[in-house]
């Protein structure tokens, strides 16, 4: 397992790559540096890119049954999440995460830009007093069905056709691309990540496993059932020691067949 250490120089290099500042070759830029092999694919935004991220316990849970989800990830898992936010154009969550966790979706644990904040709020259910709507932070985009008539001051509403199962993930990504948002972090919750995975649009999935066992409660990913393990998804995986947590970096563009 590779140990990830991010020096100030490494981080500046990654932010320069993100901002397409010309970076002369340097040892820190080498893919033999675990920090670069983990973060460079996120920073080099040469084509549209979707990263999904789950922070979970050893037994695959993201909260207790009563909904306590704070501090599932260890401190280094949180820093990792903030690095991912800083490297991407936008962060997406479903409205369920806003209601249950009331997150800020900003970058606070590292130096770097805040992503545009996007909430999938198909039916216009977002609480008007949600923290991130009232914090003077980065812009907020609400993705709503086109039959929803609800506006929230200070947000931009993107209206999309209501399909049989809600909003089409390709429609969402297409609308964001038109706004110049090409690299997207899908941060949760479980139903939102499942929809993106099921649509086959996720390039990378980061599963950060923290050393605790919650025992019961919701899991991080819930896909439609498969009948046999031969149908299970088997992405190419690199494993990193990020300090308090272990990170599985799953590359969905390279899948293995079961033999
Ligand atoms: N540890 C982590 O990494 C992490 C991160 C974020 C959240 N969480 C946890 O995840 C839980 C919340 O997950 P959740 O699944 O309840 O909420 P969620 O995924 O944040 O939001 C779910 C809501 O958004 C809707 N939605 C999502 N995509 C849609 C689409 N394309 N079209 C229409 N509607 C769409 C869902 O509709 P449908 O029901 O019709 O699908 C549902 O109403 C909380 O316990 C939270 O703490 C954990």
Q: Which residues of the chain have pLDDT under 50?
A: 27
Where is 194: in which H helix or E strand?
helix 190-198
Longest dimension (CA), the chain: 55
- Give the pLDDT of residue 81: 97
For residue 153, how far is its CA from the centre of ligand 1 (angstroms)?
Answer: 23
Helices (H) and strands (E) in the chain, counts: 6, 10
For the chain, how are helix, strand and coil distributed in percent, rounded to 5? 25, 25, 45
Q: Is residue 24 part of a domain?
A: yes
Q: Is residue 20 part of a domain?
A: yes
Q: Is residue 227 part of a domain?
A: no
The preferred substitution site among 191, 200, 247 for testing ligand 1, maximizing ligand atoms within 8 Å of CB, is 191
Q: Is residue 85 part of a domain?
A: yes
- Give the pLDDT of residue 20: 83
* CA-wise closest residue to 138 among 182, 201, 86: 86
- Give the pLDDT of residue 23: 66
CA dihedral 182, 145, 105, 193 (to 10 degrees): -70
- Residue 95: phi, psi to the nearest 5? -65, -25
Which residue range is the domain that position 7 belongs to? 2-216+232-255
- Give the pLDDT of residue 46: 81
Q: Is residue 31 part of a domain?
A: yes
Q: Is residue 224 part of a domain?
A: no
- Give the pLDDT of residue 52: 98
Q: Is residue 125 part of a domain?
A: yes
Q: Is this structure's pTM higher than 0.85?
A: yes
Q: How many domains does the chain have?
A: 1
Q: pLDDT digit string (tens) for 249-258?
A: 999 988 776 6
- Give the pLDDT of residue 26: 57
Owner of token pair 């496993």: 209
Q: Is residue 223 part of a domain?
A: no
Q: Report the DSSP pairing between strands 116-120 and 183-188.
A: unpaired
CATH of the domain at 105: 3.40.430.10
The preferred substitution site among 189, 194, 200 for testing ligand 1, maximizing ligand atoms within 8 Å of CB, is 189
- Give the pLDDT of residue 103: 92
For residue 103, how far is its CA from the centre of ligand 1 (angstroms)?
Answer: 13
Assess whether the C-beta atom of 88 lies below 6 angstroms from ligand 1: no
């Amino acid at each position: 397992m590779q140990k990830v250490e991010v020096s100030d120089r490494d981080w500046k290099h990654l932010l320069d790559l993100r901002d397409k500042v010309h970076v002369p070759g340097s040892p820190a830029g080498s893919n033999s540096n675990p920090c670069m092999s983990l973060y460079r694919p996120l920073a080099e935004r040469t084509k549209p890119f979707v990263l999904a991220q789950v922070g979970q316990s050893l037994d695959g849970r993201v909260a207790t049954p009563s909904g306590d989800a704070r501090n599932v990830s260890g401190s280094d898992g949180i820093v990792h999440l903030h690095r991912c936010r800083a490297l991407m154009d936008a962060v997406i969550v479903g409205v369920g995460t806003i209601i249950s966790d009331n997150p800020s979706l900003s970058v606070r644990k590292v130096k770097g830009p805040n992503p545009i904040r996007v909430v999938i709020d198909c039916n216009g259910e977002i609480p008007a007093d949600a923290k991130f709507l009232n914090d003077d932070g980065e812009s907020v985009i609400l993705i709503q069905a086109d039959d929803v008539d609800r506006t929230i001051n200070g947000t931009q509403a993107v209206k999309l056709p209501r399909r049989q199962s809600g909003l089409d993930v390709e429609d969402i990504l297409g609308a964001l691309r038109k706004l110049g948002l090409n690299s997207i972090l899908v941060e949760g919750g479980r139903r939102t990540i499942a929809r993106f995975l099921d649509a086959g649009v996720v390039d990378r999935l980061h599963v950060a496993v923290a050393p605790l066992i919650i025992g019961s409660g919701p899991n991080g990913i819930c896909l439609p059932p498969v009948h046999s393990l031969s149908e299970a998804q088997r992405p190419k995986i690199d494993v990193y020691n990020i300090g308090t947590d272990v990170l599985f970096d799953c590359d969905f563009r390279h899948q293995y067949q079961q033999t």
